[in-house]
């Protein structure tokens, strides 16, 4: 039987409400005349279904006292305040101070018996969305069933089981869901970490494997990059994240060693629908590895450092699409919400902070990442190239700028497209390592074209 507490000092009104609640709802009603008395009871009886409370009783802010106590105790008991709501407790309802008792009873009834209480509870509390790409590199799922969410009405959803724990499926099967417009599956909330760890382990196993083709490796690396960034956002850096990063970096290094790595990557990129974020990361890495050969101070250690810089430079961005913004103007014109705009503005600083949390990363990686949009503070985008930055930062900035322009080319890049890019970049990057990097990229690309 439902249990309701009424806190009201007007005894007549209290009795009427109590009687009608008992008659119409069939519940057990406890009466109290003050919130201090009620708080004592709530400490020993926290499982109430509803509290009806007058907003102010004599000198007490009764409604706020009750609501703030529930909030502090992390309880979700609904409170119906007679009068004015005076707390930001989420489960708070109110009715006018002079509302007739009938209206109070009717509203109380609706609060404790919402139209589809059972489904609503399941919907919001027990399922979490998991992007469909998590399923692309696994063939089975353990530990939980997988659902899709179907709209029942304006405000209600229902979950329909699509994959059972232990079922096997193929990448093609999952891609069909994606083609039909599905973006997310749903899994029980308490299975989320276990599920993401399972996917991570499977990815690590695949990345370790020596017998996958170059193009399969591009797809796998792109998927892993996406999952690494999301893992860092949702779960944080734990042993699985570290392992995934290690294997992703190793896999990227393997790709760099392929013959004709640029051509091979570009072909695979188009064929496999590799994400922009990964293409941008990988191409920066590949070009940096070639460009550095023109500098006297190159070494295997510097190359390793460049790989980490390329991999992590945008890692704090919560959405892969945000990596496409590379200037203040683009950010201003983006139409993004404030939260995303802030993430973009601070991403160099925050990515550098994330890198510092990994123990085995070469020193100095964070410093370059912090400066990768031209400001020493790691905040915002610099308008003009600054000579106060580290040489590797200058090298990275020119390379990234080239890669972004390169990725904007539609279809197969032609010599004219590249000429346009170089003319544009030559106006901007003339001095110091900026100029040297641009010359090195130009030599590298033009030699390839011959
Ligand atoms: Fe970037
Ligand atoms: Fe960036």
- Measured in angstroms, how far is the CA atom of residue 193 from the centroid of ligand 2? 28
d(CA 40, CA 105) in angstroms, rounded, equals 25
Parts of the chain with a pLDDT under 70? 114-125, 271-273, 448-450
DSSP class of residue 53? E
Domains of the chain plus CATH, in order, are 3-113 (3.40.50.2300), 116-208 (no CATH), 213-449 (1.10.3210.10)
d(CA 86, CA 89) in angstroms, rounded, equals 9
d(CA 144, CA 165) in angstroms, rounded, equals 5
pLDDT, residue 229, reads 86
User: What are the tens digits of pLDDT across the range 33-91?
Assistant: 999 989 988 888 778 889 999 999 999 999 999 999 999 988 889 999 999 988 889 89
Residue pair 346/315 in contact (Cβ under 8 Å)? The answer is no
- Measured in angstroms, how far is the CA atom of residue 332 from the centroid of ligand 1? 17
Helical (H) or strand (E) element with 445: helix 432-449
- For residue 82, list its beta bridge partners: 54, 95
pLDDT, residue 125, reads 46
Residue pair 136/109 in contact (Cβ under 8 Å)? The answer is no
- Measured in angstroms, how far is the CA atom of residue 400 from the centroid of ligand 1? 7
pTM over 0.75: no
The four Cα atoms 242, 244, 247, 248 give a dihedral, to 10 degrees, of -110
- Measured in angstroms, how far is the CA atom of residue 184 from the centroid of ligand 2? 27
- Measured in angstroms, how far is the CA atom of residue 195 from the centroid of ligand 2? 30
d(CA 221, CA 157) in angstroms, rounded, equals 35
- Measured in angstroms, how far is the CA atom of residue 41 from the centroid of ligand 1? 57
pLDDT, residue 155, reads 73
Classified as helix, coil or strand, 60 is strand
User: What are the tens digits of pLDDT across the range 337-394?
Assistant: 999 999 999 999 999 999 998 888 899 999 999 999 999 999 999 988 899 999 999 9
Classified as helix, coil or strand, 81 is strand
The string of DSSP codes covering 344-371 is HHTHHHHHHHHHHT-TTSPTTHHHHHHT
Burial of 339 (0-12, 13-18, 19+ CB in 10 A): exposed
Report in angstroms the alpha-carbon separations of 405 from 95, 219, 296, 410.
60, 22, 27, 11
- Measured in angstroms, how far is the CA atom of residue 281 from the centroid of ligand 1? 7
pLDDT, residue 114, reads 67
């Amino acid at each position: 039987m439902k249990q309701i507490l009424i806190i009201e000092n007007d005894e007549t009104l209290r009795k009427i409400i109590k009687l009608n609640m008992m008659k119409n709802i069939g519940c057990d009603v406890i009466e109290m005349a003050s919130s201090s008395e009620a708080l004592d009871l709530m400490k020993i009886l926290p499982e109430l279904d509803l509290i009806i409370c007058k907003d102010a009783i004599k000198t007490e802010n009764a409604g706020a006292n009750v609501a703030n106590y529930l909030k502090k105790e992390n309880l979700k008991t609904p409170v119906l305040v007679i009068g004015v709501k005076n707390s930001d407790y989420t489960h708070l309802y109110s009715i006018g101070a002079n509302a007739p008792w009938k209206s109070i009873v009717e509203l109380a009834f609706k609060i404790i018996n919402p139209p589809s209480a059972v489904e609503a509870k399941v919907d919001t509390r027990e399922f979490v969305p998991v992007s469909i790409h998590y399923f692309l590199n696994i063939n089975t799922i353990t530990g939980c069933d997988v659902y899709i969410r179907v709209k029942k009405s304006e405000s209600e959803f229902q979950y329909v089981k699509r994959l059972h724990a232990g079922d096997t499926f193929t990448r093609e099967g999952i891609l069909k869901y994606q083609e039909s417009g599905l973006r997310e599956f749903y899994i029980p909330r308490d299975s989320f970490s276990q599920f993401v760890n399972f996917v991570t382990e499977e990815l690590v196993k695949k990345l370790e494997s020596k017998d996958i083709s170059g193009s399969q490796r591009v797809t796998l690396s792109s998927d892993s990059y996406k999952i690494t960034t999301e893992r860092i956002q949702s779960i944080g850096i734990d042993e699985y994240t570290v392992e995934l990063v290690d294997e992703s970096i190793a896999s990227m290094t393997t790709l760099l060693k392929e013959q004709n790595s640029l051509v091979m990557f570009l072909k695979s990129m188009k064929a496999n629908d590799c994400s922009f974020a990964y293409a941008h990361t990988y191409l920066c890495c590949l070009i940096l590895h070639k460009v550095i050969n023109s500098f006297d101070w190159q070494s295997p250690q510097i190359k390793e450092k460049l790989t980490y810089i390329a991999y992590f430079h945008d890692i704090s961005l919560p959405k892969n699409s945000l990596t496409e913004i590379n200037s203040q103007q683009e950010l201003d014109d983006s139409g993004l919400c404030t939260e995303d705009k802030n993430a973009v503005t601070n991403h160099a600083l925050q990515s550098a902070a994330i890198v510092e949390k990994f123990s085995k990363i070469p020193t100095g990686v964070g410093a370059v990442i912090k400066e990768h949009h031209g400001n020493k503070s790691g905040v915002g985008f610099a308008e003009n190239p600054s000579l106060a930055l580290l040489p590797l930062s200058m090298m990275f900035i020119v390379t990234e700028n080239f890669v972004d322009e390169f990725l904007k080319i539609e279809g197969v890049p032609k010599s004219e497209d590249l000429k346009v890019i170089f003319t544009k970049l030559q106006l901007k990057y003339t001095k110091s390592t900026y100029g040297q990097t641009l010359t090195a990229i130009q030599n590298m690309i033009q030699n390839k074209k011959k």
